[in-house]
Amino acid sequence: MKRLTALFLSLMFVFSLAACGNTQGDSNQKTGSTVESTKSKSSAQTDPTMEPESLEKKTEGNPEGAEGKTLVVYFSMPETTEPDNMTQEEDNSVVVIDGEVLGNTQYVAYVIRENTGADIFRIEPVTPYPTDHDTLVDLAAQEQDDNARPAIKDSIENMEQYDTIFVGYPNWWGDMPMILYSFFDEYDFSGKTIIPFNTHGGSGFSNTISTIAELEPDANVNQDGFTVSRNNVQDAEPDIIAWLNNL
Ligand SMILES: Cc1cc2nc3c(=O)[nH]c(=O)nc-3n(C[C@H](O)[C@H](O)[C@H](O)COP(=O)(O)O)c2cc1C
């Protein structure tokens, strides 16, 4: 009888361990990781802009100090900060969420951050770009002709702690803005996963994903990046979340 009870108890123990293992496995699958770190103070969090309240975090992020953290890096060039009386060009370059004016790519970056618990870093030039549309368009074309490498204002400390990096940018003249080339020159992405996302006025990614793969031959560049027209950015949150869940 005693032996039967002991056998029964051992079986119960094994089953309960298996059940714990499954629970953890499920939550990892859904969230990518288990502990919240969205608001953690990271050296990478140099974007001081308050995010709109509507961007609620739907999954949890990496454990503090854990290996293999996720980072969202983006460049975005909203051409105004005023939510009212925009010109057509200004309107094209921003979304207004809860009365706050965000660049198109900036908004996508925020949604990714909120749904992955990643840290975030905004690429900003040492010399600010002009907000006047025509001047900006001309300058961007000139930078492309010159194969320029505009200097980036801040830097990402402890890049080695990140193994997955979402990289977002607007399409400029059928390519990435040249400051993205500065970014890829500056950091070593060997062994890391790069997941591109972009916003555009009709051209999608152009060839930018191949370009990134050429610039970073030792990285794993995800070919299924997220791209959205500036006309649809405002309503893109469900699509971004669906894309994230498929990654
Ligand atoms: C300098 C410049 C060049 C652009 N060139 C293109 C282009 O070649 N193809 C395209 O689809 N959109 C182009 N656009 C439109 C932007 O990609 C689009 O408005 C984008 O959503 C802006 O994102 P942002 O607000 O994050 O800067 C260009 C915009 C600017 C300012």
pLDDT 10s digits, 163-215? 999 999 999 999 999 999 999 999 999 999 999 999 999 999 999 999 999 99
Domain containing residue 38: 34-246
Mutation to probe ligand 1, out of 173, 175, 208, 227 (largest number of atoms < 8 A from CB): 173
- Nearest-CA residue for ligand 1 atom 3 is 172
With a 6 Å cutoff on the Cβ, whether 179 touches ligand 1 is no
Confidence at residue 98, expressed as pLDDT on a 0 to 100 scale: 86
**Residue 170 confidence (pLDDT):** 98
Beta carbon of 227 within 6 Å of any ligand 1 atom: no
For the chain, what is the mean pLDDT?
81
Residues 6+ apart with CB under 8 A from 187: 156, 159
CA distance 137 to 131: 10
Nearest CA to 170 out of 133, 221, 127 is that of 133
| pLDDT on residue 67 | 62
Q: Is the pLDDT of residue 39 over 50?
A: no
- CA–CA dist 134, 140 (Å, integer): 10
In this structure, is residue 16 part of a structural domain?
A: no
Residue with the bigger pLDDT between 149 and 48: it is: 149
Total residue count of the chain as it appears in this document: 247
CB neighbours of residue 33 within 10 Å: 20
The half-sphere exposure of 193 on its side-chain side, counting CA atoms within 13 A, is 12
The verdict on residue 23 lying in a domain is no
Q: Is the pLDDT of residue 48 over 50?
A: no
Domain assignment of residue 177, yes or no: yes
198 lines ligand 1 (CB under 6 A): no
Average pLDDT (25-53) is: 37
pLDDT band at 47 (very low <50, low <70, confident <90, very high): low
Is residue 239 included in any domain, yes or no? yes
Nearest CA to ligand 1 atom 19: 93
The answer, yes or no, to whether any atom of ligand 1 lies below 6 A from the CB of 93, is yes
Q: Is 130 in the pocket of ligand 1 (CB under 6 A)?
A: no
Domain-located, residue 212: yes
Choose which residue among 171, 180, 198 to substitute to test ligand 1 binding: the one with the highest number of ligand atoms within 8 A of its C-beta: 171
Q: Is residue 236 part of a domain?
A: yes
**How confident is the model at residue 55, as a pLDDT?**
55
Q: What is the CATH number of the domain that holds 152?
A: 3.40.50.360
Q: How many structural domains comprise the chain?
A: 1
The answer to whether position 70 is within a domain reads yes
Residue 44 lies in a domain: yes
Q: Which residues pair with 198 in a beta bridge?
A: 169, 227
